[in-house]
Amino acid sequence: MGRMTVGDIFSRLAARGADRESLWREADAVRRRTVGDTVHLRALLEFSNRCVQDCLYCGLRRSRKDLLRYAMQPAAVVRTAVAAARAGFATVILQSGEDPAYDQETLGDIIRRIKAAAPDVQVTLSVGERPFADYRAWRRAGAERYLLKHETADPVLYARLRPGHRLSGRLKRARWLSELGYAVGLGNMVGLPGQGPAALVADLELLAEFEPEMVASGPFLPHPATPLRDAPAGDPYLVLNFIALARLILPRAAIPATTALATALPGGRELALAAGADVVMVNVGPGALRSLYEIYPLRDDGSSLRPDRFAAGSGARSGARSGAQPGERSGERAGEPPEESLAALRARVAAWLAELGRTADGTPGRAAASGAGLAPQVGAEAGASPP
Ligand code: SF4
């Protein structure tokens, strides 16, 4: 890990007061020198909250029965992603629980349709552990990036928190993704029950060895509907120190100011941007669905940054209770974010960043530039029947 010894890492992770400020300043200087003042806005679309896995820490785990499940229609996913691209977002992240209904063909078709309508937008996937053939098909369909957070580099803790899974299997998939030419994102949770400082050092050692293009770190936040409900939350300041160290170890990595950090600490996004982060996720999904993507409670999904003009309706239907699968009927447009709303949202985030002395990537967006209300369209595919 460069010039830092393991002892240095331990002490800098625990830094407080003036030492902490010094660490953040150092990381901020490296960030400015290597990746500059541009903040990359990622349009985040959480298209399904269904999941076949049962991770102990997660509010989407399959054992949870009190959560209304949803899955956006493929056509609605495409329309929303394309609307975000036309509103000026350079990257869209398609994120879900592990939902087998979005199989190789369905998700591949979604990616192809997005790239056909918005060739310049970068497509990032965050849909969990899948077979190699799925990853290969989606790469060929045009996806460029994949987020596969490793959660913790402690193999014993990992196996305890993710029943039936092993860290080695996760990292094997991360290597597949890298071999397929994806830009790969790893990431961890800080403050997991049973996670000591050595496990966080192991996270940093893993980052140094793997050299992912992206690193997402956030605090563990206990969800009352999970087995970890009584565990204390992770320390957001420890997350900030971790982010700063990740920047020192991987000077050119994309490092988000995570939603979990903003949830745990008012002003957490701003502090992360001052401690080495250079990415902000902006949730562009239909307003009625955002609260259902409840991986932890009281999530700050960035709603305070957005003009919420499309909160009513969903553009989707609840799925798990009805057993519905994606593609059973054509997507509904009620509640989908219109392009001009997303352009206004992007402009608002850009203005907030300007106040911090930073610049948003992407373009202002056609709707914002013209002031016209543009209806979201996906060309000939707008009225297509889902697969
Ligand atoms: S962490 Fe991911 S894989 Fe695990 S239950 Fe939650 S959504 Fe599913």
pLDDT digit string (tens) for 202-243? 999 999 999 999 999 999 999 999 999 999 999 999 999 999
On the question of pLDDT at 373 being above 50, the answer is no
Give the mean model confidence (pLDDT) for residues 349-360: 95
CA distance 93 to 127: 10
The more confident residue out of 114 and 368 is 114
Helix axes 197-210, 6-13, angle to 10 degrees: 120
Confidence at 287, pLDDT banded by 50, 70, 90: confident
Counting from 1 in the atom list of ligand 1, the atom nearest the Cα of 58 is: 6
Residues 6+ apart with CB under 8 A from 377: 79, 82
Indicate whether residue 108 lines ligand 1 (CB < 6 A). Answer: no
Counting from 1 in the atom list of ligand 1, the atom nearest the Cα of 162 is: 4
On the question of pLDDT at 81 being above 80, the answer is yes
pLDDT digit string (tens) for 179-197? 999 999 999 999 999 999 9
Confidence at 331, pLDDT banded by 50, 70, 90: very low
Domain ranges across the chain: 6-66+80-311+340-366
Could you tell which of 292, 295, 296, 299 is best to mutate to test the pocket of ligand 1, judged by most ligand atoms within 8 Å of the CB?
A: 295
Counting from 1 in the atom list of ligand 1, the atom nearest the Cα of 129 is: 3
Indicate whether residue 61 lines ligand 1 (CB < 6 A). Answer: yes
CA distance 33 to 342: 31
Buried b / exposed e along 123-148 (16+ C-beta atoms within 10 A): bbbbbbbbeeebbbbbbebbbbbbbb
Indicate whether residue 97 lines ligand 1 (CB < 6 A). Answer: yes
The more confident residue out of 380 and 146 is 146
Write the Ramachandran bin of 267: left for phi over 0, alpha for psi from -120 to 50, otherwise beta. left
Q: What is the pLDDT of residue 113?
A: 98
The more confident residue out of 151 and 303 is 151
Paired tokens of 254: 């994309």
Give the mean model confidence (pLDDT) for residues 68-91: 96
On the question of pLDDT at 248 being above 70, the answer is yes
If 0-12 CB within 10 Å is exposed, 13-18 middle and 19+ buried, where does residue 329 land?
A: exposed
Q: What is the pLDDT of residue 291?
A: 84
On the question of pLDDT at 167 being above 90, the answer is yes
- Topology (CATH) of 6-66+80-311+340-366: TIM Barrel (3.20.20)
3-state percent breakdown (helix, strand, coil) of the chain, nearest 5: 40, 15, 45
If 0-12 CB within 10 Å is exposed, 13-18 middle and 19+ buried, where does residue 26 land?
A: middle
Counting from 1 in the atom list of ligand 1, the atom nearest the Cα of 61 is: 5
On the question of pLDDT at 136 being above 90, the answer is yes
Task: Using alpha carbons only, give the angle 255, 258, 263 rounded to the nearest 5 degrees.
Answer: 160
On the question of pLDDT at 317 being above 50, the answer is no
Question: Atom 2 of ligand 1 has which residue's CA nearest to it?
Answer: 97
The reported pTM is 0.87
Q: What is the pLDDT of residue 372?
A: 35
CA-to-CA separations, 319 to 68, 140, 202, 368, in angstroms, rounded: 8, 29, 39, 34
pLDDT digit string (tens) for 19-51? 999 999 999 999 999 999 999 999 999 999 999
Q: What is the pLDDT of residue 7?
A: 86
Counting from 1 in the atom list of ligand 1, the atom nearest the Cα of 62 is: 5
Indicate whether residue 26 lines ligand 1 (CB < 6 A). Answer: no
Q: What is the pLDDT of residue 295?
A: 86
